[in-house]
Amino acid sequence: MTNPSSIPSGSWPSWVSPELVAGRSISLSELQAQADRLYWLEARPQEGGRTALVSMKRGETPEDLLPSTVGIGTRVHEYGGGAYGVSSCQRVVFSDRKSGAVHLRENDGTFVSLASSADCAYADFSFDATGTGVFCVREDYRSGGEPKAAIVWLDCERECVLVEGDDFYAAPRPAPGNGHLAWISWNHPDMPWDATQLAVAPLTWEDSRPRPGASRILAGEASRCSSVDPVWESADTLLVSLDTPGAWHPCRFTVTGEAGPEFLADPEGETGFPHWVFGQSSLRVLPDGRILAQIVRDGLSHTALLAGRHWQICPQIETAQAPVPFGDELAWITAAPDAPPAVVIGRNSRIIRQAFDFPEGITPEDCAHPEPFAYPSTGGAIAHALYYAPVNRHHALASREKPPLVVMAHGGPTGRASSAFSFKVQWWTSRGFAVLDVNYRGSTGFGRRYREALNGAWGITDVEDCVAGVHHAVAHGLADPGRCVIRGSSAGGLTVLMALATSDVFAAGCSLYGVTDLRALAEETHKFESRYLDRLIGPYPEQEALYLARSPLTHVAQITAPLLFLHGDLDKVVPLDQAQAMNQALHGLGRASALHVYEGESHGFRQEQTLRDSFTRELAFYQQVFGQN
Could you read off the pLDDT of 533-588 as tens digits, one per residue? 999 999 999 999 999 999 999 999 999 999 999 999 999 889 999 999 999 999 99
Rounded to whole angstroms, the Cα distance separating 76 from 107 reads: 27
> Kind and range of the H or E element at 311?
strand 310-313
Q: Are 606 and 45 in contact (CB under 8 A)?
A: yes
SS3 313: strand
SS3 593: strand
Rounded to whole angstroms, the Cα distance separating 558 from 586 reads: 10
Q: Is residue 438 part of a domain?
A: yes
**CATH code at 179?**
2.130.10.120
Rounded to whole angstroms, the Cα distance separating 554 from 274 reads: 30
Sign of CA dihedral 448, 451, 453, 458: negative
Rounded alpha-carbon distances, angstroms, from residue 73 to 41, 54, 137, 352, 529: 10, 14, 14, 23, 19
* pTM greater than the 0.85 cutoff: yes
Q: Are 162 and 153 in contact (CB under 8 A)?
A: yes
What residues form DSSP beta bridges with 489? 512
Q: Are 317 and 309 in contact (CB under 8 A)?
A: no
- Domain span at 72: 26-264
76: region left, alpha or beta (phi > 0 left; psi from -120 to 50 alpha)? beta
Query: Do 258 and 218 have their domain in common?
Result: yes
> Kind and range of the H or E element at 496?
helix 491-502
Helix axes 491-502, 461-475, angle to 10 degrees: 70
Rounded alpha-carbon distances, angstroms, from residue 464 to 375, 381, 411: 12, 10, 16
Q: Using the 3D structure, point to which of 198, 229, 264 is the last residue of a domain.
A: 264
Q: Is residue 220 part of a domain?
A: yes
Query: Do 487 and 591 have their domain in common?
Result: yes
Pairing assessment for the beta strands 84-86 and 92-95 based on DSSP bridges: antiparallel
Query: Do 10 and 103 have their domain in common?
Result: no
Tell me the residue type at 605: F
pLDDT the model gives residue 4: 53
Q: Which parts of the chain sit beneath pLDDT 70? A: 1-5, 24
Sign of CA dihedral 132, 138, 141, 143: positive
Q: For residue 230, is the peptide bond before it cis, meaning its omega torsion is within 30 degrees of 0?
A: no
SS3 473: helix
For residue 527, report the phi and psi dihedrals to the nearest 5 degrees. Answer: -60, -45
Burial of 107 (C-beta count, 10 Å sphere; 0-12/13-18/19+): exposed
SS3 557: helix
Query: Do 10 and 155 have their domain in common?
Result: no
Q: Is residue 341 part of a domain?
A: no
Query: Do 13 and 111 have their domain in common?
Result: no
Rounded to whole angstroms, the Cα distance separating 533 from 529 reads: 8
Query: Do 13 and 60 have their domain in common?
Result: no
Rg (C-alpha) for the chain, rounded Å, is: 24
pLDDT the model gives residue 349: 86
Pairing assessment for the beta strands 227-232 and 50-57 based on DSSP bridges: unpaired
Q: Using the 3D structure, point to which of 264, 291, 307 is the last residue of a domain.
A: 264
DSSP result, 39-99 = EEEEEEGGGTTEEEEEEEETTS--EE-S-TT--B---TTTT-B--EEE-TT--EEEEBTTT
**CATH code at 371?**
3.40.50.1820
For residue 191, report the phi and psi dihedrals to the nearest 5 degrees. Answer: -100, 165
Query: Do 377 and 238 have their domain in common?
Result: no
pLDDT the model gives residue 5: 52
Query: Do 432 and 526 have their domain in common?
Result: yes
Q: Is residue 307 part of a domain?
A: no
Pairing assessment for the beta strands 37-44 and 50-57 based on DSSP bridges: antiparallel
Query: Do 193 and 242 have their domain in common?
Result: yes
Rounded to whole angstroms, the Cα distance separating 415 from 394 reads: 35
Up-side HSE of residue 195: CA atoms within 13 Å toward CB?
12
What residues form DSSP beta bridges with 615? none
SS3 544: helix
Rounded to whole angstroms, the Cα distance separating 614 from 196 reads: 38
> Kind and range of the H or E element at 254?
strand 249-254
Rounded to whole angstroms, the Cα distance separating 497 from 574 reads: 15
CA 334 to chain centre: 16
Identify each DSSP E strand in 453-600 by its residue range: 484-489, 508-512, 563-568, 593-598
Q: Is residue 287 part of a domain?
A: no
Query: Do 43 and 184 have their domain in common?
Result: yes
DSSP state of 368: -
Q: Is residue 311 part of a domain?
A: no
DSSP state of 614: H
Q: How many domains does the chain have?
A: 2
Query: Do 194 and 245 have their domain in common?
Result: yes
What residues form DSSP beta bridges with 159? 154
Q: Using the 3D structure, point to which of 215, 241, 264 is the last residue of a domain.
A: 264
Query: Do 148 and 238 have their domain in common?
Result: yes
Rounded to whole angstroms, the Cα distance separating 295 from 269 reads: 6
Which residues make Cβ contacts (< 8 Å) with residue 188, sequence separation at least 6? 167, 530, 531
Rounded alpha-carbon distances, angstroms, from residue 349 to 292, 331, 581: 17, 8, 50
